[in-house]
Amino acid sequence: MREYDIVRAPTPLNWEKVPTLAIDTPLWGTNADIGAWAQICWDDEGLLVRLRARERDIRAEYTGLTDMPCEDSCLEFFFSPRPGDSRYFNIEFNPNCCMYLGLCDGRDALVRLLPEGFSLEPQAERTAEGWEVRYRVPFALIRHFFPDFAPAKGDAMRANCFKCGELTPIPHYFSWNPCLSPEPEFHRQTDFGLMRFA
């Protein structure tokens, strides 16, 4: 199982000082020449997330509230905030900031969230080699579903990061922590790694 330290966010925020994890495990026959990375840190208000992709043939078709960004070029972060609670958040973005935000305890119980009063404030941009997306997951949003969530140094949560593109010119699937299912499936918590607040 891979592990990652979620450091306190530098002030002012400087992503060069935040550890990087590689979303580098090709899955289910993927042979695309794509690279992907994640950086996650935290402050008193929430989790700050930066996901990047080196990707030549970007697909970015979707923009709507109920679209499926996983069919486009997509970067994803899944995390289970509380040990012993099987629910987890599923956050997906394409290069247009089209978002899928879900809460579930498995693919068959996935519920899409369209939260009022909460915003992840996403920002996406194209880069020389591909694209990236940055956003904040407010602790207030997490506590709406996990009222006792109060992270402290040393606390841990199960999580995984993904790069996919189901309808891209070369369909592809990558993960940070390896996924062991025989066919595409990102929703198995047994395939999540460990992220620790540092």
- Residue-wise pLDDT tens digits, 72-90: 999 999 999 999 899 999 9
* Pairwise CA distance, residues 80 & 85, whole Å: 8
Question: Domain 3-197: which CATH class?
Answer: mainly beta
C-alpha dihedral sign at 151, 157, 163, 164: negative
Contact in structure between 115 and 102 (CB atoms under 8 Å) = no
Task: Determine if the pTM surpasses 0.95.
Answer: yes
Residue 110's pLDDT band (boundaries 50, 70, 90)?
confident
What pLDDT, on the 0 to 100 scale, is given for residue 108?
77
Picking from 89, 69, 80, 77, the residue whose alpha carbon sits closest to that of residue 23 is 77
* Pairwise CA distance, residues 76 & 163, whole Å: 6
Domain boundaries, the chain: 3-197
Query: What secondary structure letter does DSSP report for 170?
Result: S
Q: Is the pLDDT of residue 107 over 90?
A: no
Phi, psi at residue 57, to the nearest 5°? Answer: -100, 85
Q: What is the pLDDT of residues 114-150, one digit of tens each?
A: 888 899 999 999 999 999 999 999 999 999 999 999 9
Q: What is the pLDDT of residues 137-188, one digit of tens each?
A: 999 999 999 999 999 999 999 999 999 999 999 999 999 999 999 999 999 9
